[in-house]
Amino acid sequence: MLDPRLFRTNLQDIEAGLARRGFKLDTDAFTQLEERRKVIQVQTQNLQNERNTRSKSIGQAKAQGQDIQALLDEVQHLGDDLKQHEQQLDAIQSELEALLLAIPNLPDAGVPEGLSENDNVELHRWGTPPPFDFEARDHADLGLKLGMDFEAAARITGSRFVTLQGPLASLQRALGQFMLDIHTRQHGYTEVYVPFMVNAESLQGTGQLPKFEDELFRVVRDPAYYLIPTAEVPVTNLVRDQILDPSQLPSRWVCHTPCFRSEAGAYGKDTRGMIRQHQFEKVELVQVVRPEESETAHEALTRDAESILERLQLPYRRIVLCAGDTGFSSAKTYDLEVWLPGQSAYREISSCSNFRDFQARRLRARWRNPQTGKTELVHTLNGSGLAIGRTLVAVMENYQDEHGRIRIPEVLQSYMGGAQVIG
């Protein structure tokens, strides 16, 4: 959530920044609500002051033995008016909060202009797509004889699910373990285990609610739980309603979880294979840092994700998203796109974002600045390090041979009992 004070002092700048995203800010609605809030707040404060003054008068009159019934009646009338004004003020504050919760983050000044993925900017590439002397197959074709079964998953659950058996299941597990080992042993992250279901407040804190409720799986109970769309939600909520000691910053966590997404609005896209599924696994990187460190942390976190691709010898490119394609809560996002020979295209495998204080304000996540002694909002960041299912797809397609076998990347062979080939 953006700082409400900015709307009172820099409304035109906020409107211009959000317009870069293609977001139309209803300035009239905000201005009208803000004017009503000011009027009611002043009236409420005046009534509070008057009631306090009358209460003192009652105490003095009572001490002097005077009849105070008339004074009590006046205070009762003031109390009723004050209660009514407080209720009006609460209602206006709730409207303002609902308006603010629906407004996305301001894009970083250095983010490219544009309104769609066509305006994203490639920053660099690493690796060279493998030169096959045969027609490369996609992972869905390769997986038919290797233990990948979409029909069985459809019978068990429905579309956009998969079952894996034998070496492919082992390879997916190996990828997750490999990523965790690198991030904890070499990149300095602390592994964390979290619930796979969260409450609505947790999703509101990281920005998935209220805007993206249609993309979530909701567990029917009261109060509601939601299956996590990403480990970002429970891990970032570790600092919700906390005041962190300076020694706790930076906090750097890595977490391996299943993720669940309804993919609302994505019907017809990537229906073949494992690219876009309702259930998938991901190793997530989350950082909570001091505000002045978030830009440096963003670069480092993105490099941590890139290093996994490089160790696996998977060609990729880094993209900086334009203002209009940047996610709701993010100020700046890098996408990492891996080369998939079966599609002859680069496809997203990681998204690394700096949210600055946008999530922290919703989460009420703060730290105590030792220089001032005051509490300030932290900055939060996250990125996939990596999406395991898409990494499995990339390994299958980049390491295939003409016979449909899959060579196992050298760094994974020790996780696979020394095996070098699947098939």
Contacting residues for 185 by C-beta, under 8 A, at least 6 apart: none
54-82 tens-digit pLDDT: 666 666 666 656 666 666 666 677 778 88
Burial class (CB in 10 A: 0-12, 13-18, 19+), 99: middle
Residue 2, both tokens? 């953006």
The answer to whether 113 is a known ligand-binding residue is no
Cα distance between residue 336 and residue 127, in whole Å: 13
Q: Which residues are catalytic?
A: 261, 276, 348, 351, 390
Which of 411, 357, 3 is closest to 205 using CA atoms? Answer: 357
Residue 13, both tokens? 């700048």
The answer to whether 348 is a known ligand-binding residue is yes
The answer to whether 262 is a known ligand-binding residue is yes
The pLDDT of residue 70 = 64
Domains of the chain: 26-102 (1.10.287.40), 117-422 (3.30.930.10)
166-215 tens-digit pLDDT: 999 999 999 999 999 999 999 999 999 999 999 999 999 999 999 999 99
Cα distance between residue 349 and residue 387, in whole Å: 6
Q: What percent of the chain has pLDDT over 90?
A: 87
Distances (CA, A) of 405 to 129, 130, 140, 342: 18, 15, 13, 14
Cα distance between residue 242 and residue 5, in whole Å: 22
Where are the alpha helices (H) located in 131-222, listed in sequence order?
139-143, 150-156, 167-185, 200-206
Q: What percent of the chain has pLDDT over 70?
A: 94
Backbone angles phi, psi at 259, to 5 degrees: -130, 145
The answer to whether 406 is a known ligand-binding residue is no
The answer to whether 15 is a known ligand-binding residue is no
The pLDDT of residue 82 = 83
Residue 294 has pLDDT above 80, yes or no: yes
The answer to whether 199 is a known ligand-binding residue is no
98-119 tens-digit pLDDT: 999 999 999 999 999 999 999 9
Which of 419, 291, 266, 310 is closest to 354 using CA atoms? Answer: 291
The answer to whether 349 is a known ligand-binding residue is yes
Residue 352 has pLDDT above 90, yes or no: yes
Confidence tier at 270 by pLDDT (50, 70, 90): confident
